[in-house]
A and B are shown apart, each in its own frame.
Chain A
Amino acid sequence: MGLSDKPAERLPVASSPPSGVFGAGTPTFLTTRLDFVVNWARRNSLWPMPFGTACCAIEMMAAAASNFDLARFGMERMSFSPRQADVLICAGRVPYKLAPVLRRIWDQMPQPKWAVSMGACASSGGVFDVYSMVQGIDTVIPVDVYVPGCPPRPEGLIYGLMMIQEKIRQERLSEHGTLRAEDPAAVARARADADEVLALSGPFGNSTRQNRVSGPTGSDASDRPDDRIP
């Protein structure tokens, strides 16, 4: 054993107070910024609310299981009740039938709260540019981090959650009044107004044909009369 080869050097501070650094006569406080300590506490004890619907939920479970172990980031308690949750992880496709459920869960979460949109379908509708699918959950709730992938690997989700932690680290308490302002009238309503929904859910390149089929706005069927090539 290497340790037993020579006697360990004693710490110099340990000579006068025999019981360690925090013994008699040493200061028992430390100075820091309030912002820092609040954010440090918050970002290392985030409780995720797993709103898992489809394939991404399986990767989210894999992220929570042994090999990837989300618990290393202070997230070992998956909070299945939104009332005790801090981060909403929306993993998977969200059809219109599920949209009010997602909105209600978001409304039930107490401030401060953050949202991660995991996977292509939650972020943009993905391959499902169809009648039943919400084209990006950011039309329904505000989203902080989008994790791309179909589905993202667990590492991707972990990276997204670390970005949330970084975002929290940069927050300032003095800004919380504006950051956390919530309009009670916005409860159970879509986050985006009609124009923004149209703009956000506009088609892109590969949605029904192999080339770009229309401009940046307009998502209803009338914009593209030749969707179905016979």
Chain B
Amino acid sequence: MPASATVDALRAAFPDAVARDLVQSGHQRVVYIDPGRNAEVLDWLRTDPGERFNLLVDVTAVDYGDGRPLEVVYQLWSIPHRKALRVKCELPLSRLAIASVTTLWSAADWLEREVYDLFGIEFTGHPDLRRILMPENYAEGHPLRKDFPLRGRFSRAEQTRRALSQDMEQYYMPEEMEGRGAPQIVPADESATSAPGNSDR
């Protein structure tokens, strides 16, 4: 594996925060870092004059299923130095929380909300952590997790009923959003019989 100046510099700056690094798909450099120190490391990558990863391209997550830890993935790009880096943090299913990077990049705002909505990963310190794609009253959980069936947990009849019971007048202002990000509670679906095989992976 060829050496990478970025990874060497990162290891020198944070000897105990960098877990390992890989090269994927030819030449793409991936660094696994300690999820407890993600904000610190990413801030260094953003501001260090030799790195200057100033464009946060993407924040997403990957669920591999089978109880394996979820990965939070940051895609970084340095406009001045024209180089890319992928930073990953592994989160165990028992503690799906990581520090938000909205203070470093405004772009992280919606991207983290989406990860929260679809994976249920809580971003501590996010100013406005609530569902972004799914309806506010969505109660079936976080869809992109592997234990979530493709058609949802409820029957189509119950999904239709819940959809039409959404409050159309609701609106949100930032100050009303405090205290969001509560753990998900999935109520029972009365109109469908639950059967084994709902969790298909």
Contact = CB atoms under 8 A, between A and B. Distances in A.
A102 to B, nearest CB: 10
B151, B192, B193, B200, most chain A CB atoms within 10 A: B151
A114 B36 CA distance: 57
A219 B196 CA distance: 15
Given A97-B135, A131-B148, A221-B151, A194 B197 contact: no
Interface residues of B, number: 34
A221 B198 contact: yes
B6 interface: no
Chain B contact residues: over half helix, strand or loop, or mixed? loop
B162 to A, nearest CB: 8
Nearest to A188: B164
Contact of A103 (B149, B159, B164, B201): B164
Interface in B98-143: 134-135, 140, 143
Contact of B157 (A104, A188, A194, A222): A194
A115 interface: no
B155 A219 contact: yes
Interface residues of A, number: 35
Interface string A3-46: 00000000000000000000000000000000000000000000
B150 A100 contact: no
A99 B195 contact: no
B16 to A, nearest CB: 37
Contacts of B153: 221
A187 to B, nearest CB: 11
Interface string B149-169: 111111111111111111010
Interface in B175-195: 191-195
Given A220-B154, A221-B152, A139 B160 contact: yes
Given A96-B160, A96-B163, A219-B156, 15 more contacts: A100-B164, A100-B165, A131-B140, A134-B163, A139-B156, A197-B156, A197-B160, A219-B151, A220-B156, A221-B197, A221-B200, A222-B194, A225-B197, A227-B200, A228-B200
Interface of B: 134-135, 140, 143, 148-166, 168, 191-198, 200-201
Pairs of residues from A and B, 8 with the lowest C-beta to C-beta distance, nearest first: A225-B197, A131-B152, A221-B149, A96-B163, A194-B157, A222-B195, A220-B155, A201-B156
Interface of A: 96-97, 99-101, 103-104, 129-132, 134-135, 139-140, 188-190, 192, 194-195, 197-198, 201, 208, 219-222, 224-228, 230
